[in-house]
Structure 1
Amino acid sequence: MPRNFGQEFLDQILKFEDKTCLIWRETEITFRQFHEKIELWRTILEYQKKQSSNPLRIALFCTNSPDILALIVAGQLVGVTIIPLNPSYKKYEIEKYFLESRANFVIVSDDVDLEKFEDMELQTVSEVVSSAVDANQNEEHSISTSGVLVFFSSGTTGPPKLYEYTQRNLCAQIDQINEIRKDSRFFSPSQSDVCYGVLPFFHAGGVITVLSMIYNGCSLLINERWNEEEFLTNCQNYKVSVLFLVPPVLNFLANHPLVPKFDLSSLKTIYVGSAPSKAEDFEKVSKRLPALENLIQIYGTTECGVFLCSTGKGITLGRTIGLPLPLIKIKINKGGELIIKSPTGVEEDFMETGDLGAIHRKTNELAIVGRKKEMIKVRGWQVNPNEIEDVIRKVNGVTDCAVYQSAIGGKLIAKVIGKTDIKLDIMIAVQGK
């Protein structure tokens, strides 16, 4: 019999009744109240579905909030396609992803800059909620198995690609949660935990993680925008016991001078994912937070499912958590041969090397033939250097360019070949996008 993720989710959270489910802007929302919010959005979406002559595909340009979570779950109940997208996108990105996702209905947060959407029909969250008076809230609900949740991948092998989470994908995540709870090798958050994550809900890892924790009966603190002091204050005041982080935030906990000024003794478990973390950050965090019991690396991809595997309980360092091996040193000797020094200190001669570069067998010239990664993370956001290069190359006077990330500070740098007086034109072109 076909399963419905939304219905299984609702059946589960009703068990927790008046326990705190969500904490948002200092307001606590119980599981019962969150259930009611889902039912409200269910009514709204059923009404909108009937009004649409085509299958309803809703693009969300929204910041993190209880309404967005409720809307996403309701979409699975009603059988519509929900497409969470980054509200911080530039105008050209909004147009690009709107077209690629084939959306025909747009909802934005009330606090989003509407000028970027000037050529697009849309409604704010509050406008859609107020339209609920037009819907028949007494009408009997039906359950669909056709609901789809659409994400764009992080783009590590090129520009972000659209991927659809069907009911089968989402129910598989529930099955995985249930199996993890049975396995003593893995930590599983429980009803006694207060969880806090930094990822946005337009990120697959963000929303699936959040829904998983709610399914487990945890109380969830909703993060909106990253702020160092606010993050630490929330961890202290709400006695957060479980954190879901990305590597830059783990690095912040490992090194920032603000961290020791806060009481983080309630923190027992940290999950970190979306990219590899530095081994030294694991070590520093475990020393800085002596009450920490678990520091867990999560592995997953948008295409295959957010949770593929994790490192299990405990604080694990080094190679066993999938961290990169020590850096390989590369040099060219006087004879033009490429020398690769391995981590063990053994040197071997190669005439070719990986996807970053190659040695021409006849001329012994080193050629750069690719990138290490097609996406660069800047302050936790995915940036595609190819897209920036395309914009710069269109500037009059530019012959060619290459965009890369500085080893100091992580800033993006563009090396440009062309006329010497076009720097201002390039800056204007990039800022305009």
Structure 2
Amino acid sequence: MYQLRRLGLLTLDPASISKDLFVFGEASGFEPFQNLLDDDGKAFPDVDVDPVKDVFVLPYSSGTTGFPKGVMLSHHNVVANTYQISKLICPEPHDRCLGLLPLYHIYGMVVVQMISLMGGSSITFLPKFDPELFLKCIQEKKITIAYLVPPLILFMAKHPVVSKFDLTSIVEVLSGAAPLGEELTKEFTNRHPNVLNLRQGYGLTETSPVTNIDMTRTEGSIGHMIPNTRGMMVDLESERPLPSGQLGELWVKGPQVMLGYYKNQAATDDMITQDRWLRTGDIGYFKEDGTIFIKDRLKELIKYKGSQVAPAELEALLLTHPDIQDAAVVGVPDQAAGELPRAFVVVKPGSDVTEEQVASFVESKVSKTKKLRGGVQFLEEIPKNPSGKILRRVIKEKYL
């Protein structure tokens, strides 16, 4: 409570809170909880609810590539997804989970909150990310399972302040909401060998949210489809299914797929086919063993002279540079080529690396079409939303 007050997040005077005490069962001085449920039939009207067709929650999509839209999820959608997830990962009563993502975000609502409580574990919630408070919480609460996003994985892998805290209680980390690169995965696991499992999950608000979880520790992969979920890669032009190894858009189908967008049938029809396949808008490929790799968002691909350049691929490469703390890549309009990749980079404190050196580093490791022809620009911070997604639209509006 003191911490909430210090951060200005608690304005309620504790003295004003009601002193009524309730108990499950009966006890002297307490009012039975059952009394709160008593109903004479007049206070609340009877309501017919269809758990399959009626809206249970209405979270909003992030809006990073367009206007936010209300995602209609039914009780059936969410309960189905909690059972699907729990067959693969489910905390146990002895586990202590870290809750940092906001509960209005579908990751925080379902994966952090519902799955943790479903397993009977405890959750420690933090009001927002504060580096020292975050690390102190893990150390003092002996957190065993941390639900994180890639920017926090990056922080734990690279920031020097992390070494001042004992984080050895963590045995499992689940990363989601944005792509987690192979090199960052290696860097994190090398620094935190106590973490037995660093799993990457995948999903959308529109899928309640999970469709994939990596259970085989395949670096850079989102793993297989979770139980009772189907997936396929389709050609970007013909929308025909593709074989293994070929880059395409991931489509998914399962009981967790949303009812549709609230009061937006046109957007719903663009997202979901007539036979209920959901177009994720994510580009990737799958191997013969069924493991899936996501490379980037369809709407964020940079088109250079007809070739497709995935920003996430270049960002993952940039993060392997010893002087780079964080990075984002966007397309710069060019009359001749269409778009040119430009890197926005946050360097580590004390680094004297130059823009030219960063560009040369990338050039030595990629094909000709993926060079940073749009240049390199240093920033103090990469704009991101609360779930860790890079706000490319904000970068373009502010810096281009």
**TM-score between both structures, scaled by the size of structure 1:** 0.47
Check conservation: 2:199, 2:215, Cα contact below 8 A: yes
The residue identity in structure 2 corresponding to 1:219 is: S
For 1:217, what is the secondary structure of its paired residue?
coil
Residue 126 of structure 2 corresponds to: 223
Task: Kindly report which structure 2 residues correspond to 1:66-77, keeping only aligned pairs within 5 A, or say none.
Answer: none
Match of 1:256 in 2: 159
Equivalent residue number for residue 200 of structure 1: 102
Task: Classify 1:234/1:143 alpha carbon distance in 2 versus 1 (closer, same or farther; 3 Å).
Answer: farther
Unaligned runs of 5+ in 1: 1-23, 27-62, 64-87, 89-108, 113-123, 181-185, 344-354, 387-402, 406-411, 416-433
The corresponding residue for 2:63 is: 155
Displacement of 1:338 in angstroms is: 6.9
Residues 1:214 and 2:117 are matched in the alignment: yes
**Are the counterparts in 1 of residues 214 and 221 from structure 2 also a CA contact under 8 Å?**
no
The question of 1:377 aligning with 2:384 is answered yes
Aligned to 2:171: 268
Aligned to 1:324: 295
Superposition TM-score, scaled by structure 2 size: 0.50
* C-alpha contact (below 8 Å) 1:298/1:311 kept by paired residues: yes
8 Å CA contact 2:110, 2:208 repeated in 1: no
Partner of residue 173, structure 1: 81
For 1:60, the equivalent position in structure 2 comes to none
Q: Counterparts of 2:303 and 2:78 in 1: how far apart (Å)? A: 48
1:12-411 alignment runs, 5 A limit: 111=11, 137=36, 139-140=38-39, 145=49, 148-178=56-86, 180=87, 186-209=88-111, 210-313=113-216, 315-318=217-220, 322=293, 324=295, 365-368=336-339, 377-378=384-385, 380=387, 403-404=394-395
| 2:129 counterpart SS class | coil
- Inter-CA distance 295–223: structure 2 relative to 1 (3 Å threshold): same
SS at match of 1:220: strand
Distance between the aligned counterparts of 2:62 and 2:48, measured in 1? 29
Give the drift of 1:320: 6.5
Higher helix share: 1
User: How far does residue 381 in structure 1 lie from its aligned partner after superposition?
Assistant: 6.0
- Show structure 2 runs of 5+ residues with no match: 22-34, 224-292, 297-301, 314-329, 343-381
CA distance in 2 between partners of 1:169 and 1:162 (Å): 15
State the one-letter code of the partner of 1:316. Answer: T
Tell me which amino acid in the other structure corresponds to 1:413.
K
The aligned counterpart of 1:347 is none
1:166 to 1:289, Cα distance in 2 relative to 1, 3 A: same
| Letter paired with 2:130 | N
SS in 1 for 2:67: coil
The secondary structure found in structure 2 opposite 1:152 is coil
Aligned-partner Cα distance in 1 for 2:210–2:18: 33
Letter in 1 for 2:147: F
Aligned pairs, number: 245
Deviation at 1:385, TM superposition (A): 6.7
Query: What secondary structure, in the 3-state scheme, does the structure 2 residue paired with 1:271 have?
Result: strand
Q: 2:398 aligns with which of 413, 424, 432?
A: 413
State the alpha-carbon separation in 2 of the partners of residues 378 and 154 from structure 1. Answer: 8
> For residues 304 and 187 of structure 1, do their structure 2 counterparts lie closer, same or farther at Cα, with a shift above 3 Å needed?
closer
User: Cα distance, 1:139 vs. partner?
Assistant: 2.3
> What is the alpha-carbon distance in structure 2 between the residues aligned to residue 143 and residue 160 of structure 1?
30
The RMSD of aligned alpha carbons is: 4.6
Q: Deviations over 1:390-428 (max 9, x none)?
A: xxxxxxxxxxxxx526xxxxxx7344xxxxxxxxxxxxx
Aligned in 2, Cα 1:257/1:168: closer, same or farther, shift over 3 Å? same
What percentage of residue pairs aligned between the two structures are identical? 26
Q: Could you list the per-position Cα deviations for residues 183-212 of structure 1 after superposition, in whole angstroms to 9, with x for gaps in the alignment?
A: xxx443211111103210111111112121
Taking the aligned partners of 1:272 and 1:153, their CA distance within structure 2 comes to 19
CA distance, structure 2, for counterparts of residue 236 and residue 166 of structure 1? 38
Assess if the C-alpha contact under 8 Å between 2:55 and 2:72 holds in 1.
no
Map of 1:20 onto structure 2:
none
SS state at 2:185 partner:
helix
For residues 18 and 47 of structure 2, the distance between their equivalents in structure 1, rounded to whole angstroms, comes to 21
Q: 1:222 offset after TM fit, Å?
A: 1.1
Distance in 2 of aligned mates of 1:223 and 1:266? 18
